[in-house]
Amino acid sequence: MATATPPREEAPEAAPSFSPLYQQIKALITRSLQSGEWRPGEVIPSELDLAVRFKVSQGTVRKAIDELATENRLVRRQGKGTFVSTHSEQLTQYRFLRLVPDAPDSGGEVARVSRRVLECRRVRAPADVARALEMKPGESAVQIRRTLLSHGRPTVLDEIWLPGNLFKGLSAERLSQYRGPMYALFETEFGVHMIRASEKLRAVAADALAAKCLELPEGSPLLSVERLSYSYGDKPVELRRGLYHTAAHHYRNELN
């Protein structure tokens, strides 16, 4: 496969002077991830091999990989190498779900949940959804409604919007049959990788639909979490509006 050649270490010519060389190498590795040269779960070439390929020092490659690992795009495994991150990984599959039980199970802090798909249909994207996902008004979108259950009790009501052109063939049946994390399904079957997300949180009262789906009295307090998820190139690929019942859970995030 043809690859772009980065500037030589001693004289970076193709990039602005303020762009550190390791950032240029990071961008080239990211480009290979985006193109599918290395797929989720696969091992990437060694630091030495990448250093030879890009004509830079091994230390420069290591620094680039360190940043990608910090961003959860790559995963280091002692004695085995560096792998492309996947939402199937036990370590990363819950990194976008910050719901934590007040009395955590012995298996870990993050709530282990099951899901129930209520609806999956193709519709014309409403104006606000099209704007968030950078789609044309009225363009085809996939709308999903589901509940997440903790110990059999509905805890989260999700409304998920996806660009229709990226998720052709996605159906309620396919979602219900798939046993792994939803984002892992998006990776393996649709080639869409969720890299990062931004969220807005606010307190709301349950409307009639939320009350019915979460088996609560109408007007019950809920935490509204609106998440916009991005793929490579900072392309928005998912708008998710979740309503969280926090009587026995809380939303936890760590800030560095």
Which of 34, 49, 84 is at the close of a domain? 84
- Inside any domain, residue 11: no
CA distance 41 to 143: 28
Whichever domain contains 137, its CATH number is 3.40.1410.10
Are 148 and 212 contained in the same domain?
yes
Are 55 and 155 contained in the same domain?
no
> pTM above 0.85?
no
Number of separate domains in the chain:
2
* Owning domain of residue 160: 99-251
Whichever domain contains 61, its CATH number is 1.10.10.10
CA distance 74 to 69: 5
- Asked if the model's pLDDT at residue 188 lies above 50, the reply is yes
- Inside any domain, residue 9: no
Cα end-to-end span (Å), the chain: 38
**Residue 88 main-chain phi, psi, to 5 deg:** -80, -15
> What's residue 96's pLDDT?
61
- Inside any domain, residue 181: yes
Please write the tens of the pLDDT for every residue from 112-164.
Answer: 678 899 999 999 999 999 999 999 988 999 999 999 998 889 999 999 999 99
Please write the tens of the pLDDT for every residue from 26-39.
Answer: 989 988 988 888 88
Are 136 and 244 contained in the same domain?
yes
> What's residue 211's pLDDT?
97
Query: Cα dihedral angle (225, 231, 237, 241), rounded to 10 degrees?
Result: -10
- Inside any domain, residue 76: yes
The rounded mean pLDDT for the chain is 84
CA distance 9 to 254: 36
pLDDT band at 217 (very low <50, low <70, confident <90, very high): very high
Nearest to 199 by CA among 112, 98, 113: 98
CA distance 194 to 165: 16
Are 60 and 126 contained in the same domain?
no
Are 57 and 105 contained in the same domain?
no
pLDDT band at 95 (very low <50, low <70, confident <90, very high): low
Are 244 and 187 contained in the same domain?
yes
